[in-house]
Structure 1
């Protein structure tokens, strides 16, 4: 058995370290103070599991011919519902079909998480007159609707949001949605000790992911020439885009003990 050289061994270590680092960046660790309230939430948030749309054989053929990468699920769905029959008498046949201007793909540049995106609740317990510690629990006092969205207006916002949501969910492995609700009366049974002569404050925050990247637009044509079919994209443009996407059914807790009211 041949011995590995030192340089080869170091190269392998670098490759493994790079792979580990990339995975850690794309799937950030949740702080220990982040709590899952899926079961306790009195408002049932709808799941945002976006199905992966499989292109048909006809669509795959067209996508391979395109001069720009196409990932927009709405455009893929439109192509799946289309068909062009081949005929031996199509010699000399030509046609160009304009499908409109579409957002074609989204490229992610940066994905980060703000665990304190929006404060949704405050519980407190005044134990300044007590001689022994008391327990403080989280209980949602009012229903809170947490909304995200694009940071600037761009064409075809809904389709762009879907592509950004897909990419952010893939990179973070978090349950994301552009809108989520924390229902009134939601509670957790974990106690927070408030010492005698102190006031305890328990703050609950809804976290959100900040997604940044660029979206590519273009005018899409299906070009038919004889029995050949292809997609041609013209007037290609790109635009920078950002979005805040709330994390569904997760809360970040911050507990503070004070001698005076805050």
Structure 2
């Protein structure tokens, strides 16, 4: 797939550069109605973090790299093309190919050409963004205070490094592109630091204290939380159509399919404390 996209990018750049089409000399097309646009709520949908979930970014002994939203800003020429499409285009990799194409300033009259750019996942519409604060258990701290005469205080100490991975819940075509679009939407909706992989380093600790009463055993469980993202991805065959000084994108054979993913919350841990009279 990567080789095919690289070849398409080179062919597109060469062809557009030699056709003499200039973005600024082309008349602007009237806006076309876009299909496959799922209405999304404009209300605040950010996820509320409970008190049992703590940020460990400063204490984490493994420095996770900050995951920025992988959104690529279209160039002026790319934006003009995207606006002509009959289907909404949000795929960062497709936008990158359009951005890296070159354009000659001199217009060419009488040109007629259609270039097939391949089948792409074009956009992702989110229908549900919900948290699971106990997505994966990463640590257990334990102390037996059955022989004690006063409260014993324990706190969180990560005993071993844990790698927490997310991913799509089912196989879909062009999974990498779909993951990027889902990550963008989930981060925007939840307002949480998300990544498909996060690591909790050994020796990470928090000073928050949990009391174990006498005659009891105490268990402090630590969980990595994650977002369950669900929605619909739209696919289509993309064509670059050029007629004289005009150019546009036409999408054919449009299909949609449901998709879901688990996306871990980076550098956050959910704590659950339990005290009991007998071992668990």
- TM-score, with length taken from structure 2: 0.83
SS at match of 2:69: coil
Tell whether 2:63 aligns with 1:44: yes
Answering whether residue 101 of structure 2 is matched by residue 82 of structure 1, we say yes
Contact 1:119 1:204 in 2 (8 A): yes
The 4+ residue runs of structure 1 with deviation greater than 6 A are none
**Offset, 1:37:** 0.5
Give the secondary-structure state (helix, strand or coil) at the position aligned to 1:53.
Answer: coil
Say whether residues 1:243 and 2:261 are aligned partners.
yes
Deviations 1:34-81 (A, max 9, x none): 011101111111111125422111111101111110011111111011
Q: Could you say what secondary structure the match of 2:221 adopts?
A: strand
- Taking the aligned partners of 2:106 and 2:242, their CA distance within structure 1 comes to 12
Aligned ranges 1:61-72 → 2 under 5 Å? 61-72=80-91
Shift of 1:198: 1.0
**How far apart, CA to CA, are the structure 2 residues paired with 1:183 and 1:246?**
15
Q: Secondary structure at the match of 1:163?
A: helix
8 Å contact from structure 2 (residues 142, 218) kept in 1: yes
1:169 aligns with 2:187: yes
Question: Is the CA contact 1:222–1:230 (under 8 Å) kept in the aligned structure 2?
Answer: yes
Deviation at residue 211 of structure 1 after TM alignment: 0.3
Aligned pair partner of 2:238 in 207, 212, 220:
220
* In the alignment, structure 1 residue 259 sits paired with structure 2 residue 271: no
Q: Specify the alignment match of 2:29 in structure 1.
A: none
Distance 1:51 1:238 in 2: 22
Normalised to the residue count of structure 1, the TM-score between the two structures is: 0.89
- Do structure 1's residue 108 and structure 2's residue 126 form an aligned pair? yes
Contact 2:70–2:184 under 8 Å retained in 1: no
Counterpart selection for 2:52 from 10, 25, 33: 33
Q: Residue in 2 aligned with 1:3? A: none
**Matched-pair contact (CA < 8 Å) for 1:58–1:83:** no
Q: How far did 1:196 drift?
A: 1.1
Check the 8 A contact 2:156/2:206 in 1, yes or no: yes
1:150 to 138, 162, 168: 168
